[in-house]
Amino acid sequence: MLKKTVFLTAMSLTFLAVPLWGKTVINEQVQGKQLLTIKAESDKGRISRNIYGHFAEHLGRCVYEGFWVGEDSDIANVRGIRTDVVDALKKIQVPVLRWPGGCFADKYHWMDGIGPRDSRPSMINTFWGGVEEDNSFGTHEFMDLCEMLGASPYIAGNVGSGTVKEMQEWVEYMTADMGAMAKLRKLNGRQEPWKVPFFGIGNENWGCGGEMTPEYYSDEYRKFQNYVVRFPGNENMKKVACGPGDLNLHWLEVVMRNCNRFMDAITLHRYVFTGNWGVKGSATQFNSELWVKLMENTVEIDSMLEKFVEVMDKYDPRKRIELYVDEWGTWWDQEAGSHPGFLYQQNTMRDAVSAAVFLNSFNAHCDRVKMANIAQINNVLQAMILTDGPKMIVTPTYHVFELYTAHHDATLLESELVCDPLAGSEKKIQSVSVSVSKDSAGTINITVANLDPENSTEVICDLVGLTPKAVTGKVLNGKAMNSHNSFDTPAEVSVTELKDIELQADKLTVTLPAHSVSLIQIK
């Protein structure tokens, strides 16, 4: 295994004609030296903890078994919600949870999910698996879950098959303290209104949410949002417009132009894989070439966000409107033997490194990106947790979120990375991805992903404006690029101490293993 050297030093500025703070530059003239400069006293804005949000859809075993087992289950639970999953998720400090979809949101009729469970009507989940949905997990159960997690609820409303009246009454049911819907909520056991900080008006309305044009959706959005009333006590609820999937700037342009006065946020969805939408590739069986291809697709999020921000700035130069990447992650062919349409996939170090690249990019654009929601939290796509009946394991991606809690509500610091291209990358993407913040205690937090699947990287670091007193490090890694946790080997991939780290005076030396994600903390 080879080892290359990365210099994180103020001297890196001598290699550049013009500093590009917060940017990544591929420089083939500086072979073997990835150069990162950090300004310890800078302030590039606050990294919202909601960037580390999650998504739970009525899809496969995300909600049912993932969260909901019922009060009579042999699996330990509180009011039907399994305790082992909740306890695990508390450790990664889930800030916000989006529900009930996804595509399911624009088929969901909320009144079917309230009242006595044995009298709730069932439906067929035609989007995901064609299975029966008995509505035993509804508004009260979801809000109970959020309170257990300490997470803010993000509701996705039904525009595709719903009505204005239905959406208006759902908001009233959840957040009003008087009126018919509040009385109904109280009759169903909840006296006090809930806080709903975020309300999405439709989901993927260009596709499964109604196959609409942006012009048509703009009119629908303006109509629906007019009746999504902010009741006293919930005056700051943000109205979220449906943005595009991937780089559809026409949709974004039309909706921003027509609706900017009526929205508080707009969304973006971004999934990555190595194949195509028909055959996306295996989650666990891949070589270094496919690893690199995924990293190339993942890194595109940075230029995509820049293009989005350019359009948003055109119609909202004061940056009042927030950008929510409320579905993102890797998407692979579902595991053999799993239920068709349930989107169950394994989760390896490749997924973990991809997640780190996404999160580093969201941090870098924290002036606009105020929320992101990985898809999905349990048993679906790039999940944090996998269950098998009473069994439960956490995934490598879970551990990325564990490490990145250091960035929650921290201050983004100015940084510049001059980086070698990743070996084997035709697009010559960077081989290292970095994000740097300072928390309220003054600790510098550096999250760094080594995108190279085969070679370790030595890091030499000086900080501008700070003489380090102490340094600690943690690393997430596995024996191979496709290492993953299973129910037989639940700790194959875990967070361990980053031992190859040394501080002498103002110089820090670190070796990052291949295919790894690390957190370095400097005081």
Dist CA 243 CA 238 (whole Å): 15
- For 111-149, the DSSP string reads GGGSS-GGGPPPEEETTTTTEEE---S-HHHHHHHHHHH
What is the pairing mode between strands 265-272 and 385-388? unpaired
- Local structure of residue 233 (DSSP, 8 states): T
- Residue of 172, 327, 402, 416 marked catalytic: 327
- Angle, helices 164-175 vs 180-187, to 10°: value is 60
What is the pairing mode between strands 53-55 and 96-99? parallel
Q: Over the range 467-489, which residues count as b (16 or more CB within 10 Å of their CB) and which as e?
A: ebeebebbbbbbeebbbbbeeee
For the record, the structure tokens of 226 come out as: 């007019």
Dist CA 117 CA 74 (whole Å): 19
Q: Is residue 402 annotated as a catalytic residue, yes or no?
A: no
What is the pairing mode between strands 33-38 and 3-8? parallel
What phi and psi, each to the nearest 5 degrees, are found at residue 19? -65, 140
Dist CA 168 CA 48 (whole Å): 29
3-class secondary structure, 326 = strand
Element (H, E) at 215: helix 214-226
Nearest to 346 by CA among 292, 375, 383, 388: 383
- Local structure of residue 196 (DSSP, 8 states): -
Q: Is residue 204 annotated as a catalytic residue, yes or no?
A: yes
- Residue of 57, 141, 172, 204 marked catalytic: 204
The position carrying tokens 């940084």 is 415
Element (H, E) at 461: strand 456-461
3-class secondary structure, 265 = strand
Residues 6 or more apart whose Cβ sits within 8 Å of residue 66: 56, 85, 377, 378, 379, 380, 385, 387
- Angle, helices 214-226 vs 249-259, to 10°: value is 40
The contacts found for 212-216 with CB under 8 angstroms, 24 or more apart, are 214/250, 214/251, 214/253, 214/254, 214/255, 215/254, 215/258
Nearest to 209 by CA among 305, 67, 100: 100
- For 154-192, the DSSP string reads EEEE--SS--HHHHHHHHHHHH-SSSHHHHHHHHTT--S
Element (H, E) at 307: helix 288-315
Residues 6 or more apart whose Cβ sits within 8 Å of residue 191: none
Active site residues: 204, 327
